[in-house]
Amino acid sequence: MDEEKRTEYDSQEDEELRRRMDKRKAERVEERKIEQQKKAKKKEKARKYTLAAKIAFGVLVVLCLLFLAAQSLGNVTFSRISDGIVQTFSNMKAGPGYPLTIGKNNCLRMDTFGDNLVLLEKDRVLLLNSTAKEIMSYKHTFSAPRLCVSNSRILLTDCKTGRYTVLSGRGMLTEGELKNEVYCSAIGNSGNYAFSQKSEVGASLVSFYFNDDSGEPFQFSCADEYIIGISFSPNGKKAALIGMGCKDAADYSKLYIVSLTEQKVVKEFQYDGIRLHTVFYSDNDTVITAFKNGYSIVKNNKERNDRLLDGSVIARFAVDYNGNWAFAVNGYGDEAGSTVCAFNSKGKELCSTDLDVKVSGFDYKDGRISVSASDGSLYCIRTSSGKCVKSGENCQSPDFVAVVKNKIYVSDNGELKRISF
């Protein structure tokens, strides 16, 4: 009996030992499995880091190549890239949203600056994103401020005193003061900027300042014409100037083509009996000028084509980023409407749209024309199809409009509104 009990006891001990051994074995298997999983995760994480580093390096190489290629065309700078980075991170934080109170009669001009909105107010320049967040605010004390905008720079000029400031998307870059009052100013995509000012020895003096800080400005003296418009070519190598003069009691205008690389006038065109009021480069070889009842296209510094509008008067003019352009002509009389025409950079008509209202505000960006009418109505015209859409929202007294992507911004009676189409 005792022997049977001992045998049974030994068997129980053996069974318990086997269970312990099996448990320990299972634990070791589980530990190895966990360890293998940890190693696999570390390996996968290292692989992802390596892949991310390769992608980042590849993107950096592409960006450097693009930078070098674009820099050879004179339209990109390192500061512009840094501006874009700063604005990207700034846009991550939302603002108060629209509508935004800006004060009645406080907005002097509105334009687009990349994907943001720039406002010239009586005492500051304000840069806003799509959520009405202030990206940049610059105070000024200019009595007669004029705002010029390129794709990376803002030029603020006091036409009365000759003071000026060049801004980026982060704030002031440089400032200066001219000797005399300013007739007009302009800034190009490459960062070059220019002024036409009153001259002490002639009608006007045009000064070109270069973004590469190459020293003294290149100056062009005009003895007989007052230069009232300046435009830079997209690559920054040329500039077009329009001047007005009077000879034998008859008005005339001139278009000057200036080579900034050679620093001299290479071509000029005279318009007898015509007062040019608008000039811009639609591409590197095409200059568009406009006058009261027509426009002129000059290609390759030699081919000039003047077109009259059969008695209609151009009321508004606007240019898209890609060089496409548009104008609105208002009909005569209180009951007459208006016509909006759009063209590509070479001057080929894209669309023509008739409206039963008179145009007051006008802008053309990203393939869309925004129109505010005298009766407070708002319209959006897609130039690719000519389709015109009227907004269901009316304004009280709209003055400025601007297009940013598929949104239209309008300043209306002290409020800045955003309209979707």
pLDDT tens digit sequence for 346-371: 999 999 999 999 999 999 999 999 99
User: What kind and span of H or E run contains 362?
Assistant: strand 359-365
The torsion of the CA quartet 380, 230, 142, 144, rounded to 10 degrees, works out to -80
pLDDT of 94 reads 82
Please answer whether residues 182 and 157 qualify as being in contact, where contact means their C-beta atoms are separated by less than 8 angstroms: yes
Residue 76 has pLDDT above 90, yes or no: no
Confidence of residue 3 (pLDDT cuts 50, 70, 90): low
Query: Which residues 6+ apart lie within 8 Å of 97 measured at CB?
Result: 131, 132
Lowest mean pLDDT among 65-69, 176-180, 231-235: 65-69
**Rounded CA gap, 113 and 296, in Å?**
28
**Rounded CA gap, 414 and 8, in Å?**
99
What's the whole-number average pLDDT of the chain?
Answer: 86
Residue 263 has pLDDT above 70, yes or no: yes
Please answer whether residues 347 and 387 qualify as being in contact, where contact means their C-beta atoms are separated by less than 8 angstroms: no
Strands 154-158 and 145-149: antiparallel
**Rounded CA gap, 208 and 99, in Å?**
39
Residue with tokens 């151009």: 314
As given in the structure block, the two tokens for residue 149 are 């905008």
As given in the structure block, the two tokens for residue 266 are 């290479």
Closest CA to 231 of 325, 304, 315: 325
pLDDT of 63 reads 64
Phi then psi for residue 323, to 5 deg, are 95, -10
Name beta bridge partners: 251. 246
Strands 134-139 and 368-373: unpaired
Q: Which amino acid is at 275?
A: R
Residue range 204-211: mean pLDDT, rounded: 93
Name beta bridge partners: 117. 112, 128
Residue 318 has pLDDT above 70, yes or no: yes
**Rounded CA gap, 405 and 392, in Å?**
19
Percentage of residues of the chain with pLDDT beyond 90: 63
Q: What are the DSSP calls for 70-109, one per residue?
A: HHHTT---HHHHHHHHHHHHHTTS----SSEE--TT-EEE
Q: Please report the sign of the dihedral spanned by the C-alpha atoms of residue 356, residue 357, residue 363, residue 368.
A: negative
pLDDT of 199 reads 92
Lowest mean pLDDT among 82-91, 182-191, 261-270: 82-91
Strands 398-404 and 116-121: unpaired
pLDDT tens digit sequence for 285-313: 999 999 999 999 999 988 999 999 887 88
**Rounded CA gap, 266 and 263, in Å?**
9
Please answer whether residues 255 and 271 qualify as being in contact, where contact means their C-beta atoms are separated by less than 8 angstroms: yes
Lowest mean pLDDT among 31-35, 244-248, 256-260, 320-324: 31-35
Rounded to an integer, what is the distance from CA 266 to the centroid of its chain?
A: 30
Residue 404 has pLDDT above 70, yes or no: yes
Q: Which amino acid is at 233?
A: S
Residue range 173-188: mean pLDDT, rounded: 95
pLDDT of 406 reads 81
pLDDT tens digit sequence for 153-174: 999 999 999 999 999 998 999 9
pLDDT tens digit sequence for 88-119: 545 557 889 999 999 988 999 999 998 899 99
The end-to-end CA distance of the chain, in Å, is: 99
pLDDT tens digit sequence for 268-280: 999 999 999 999 9
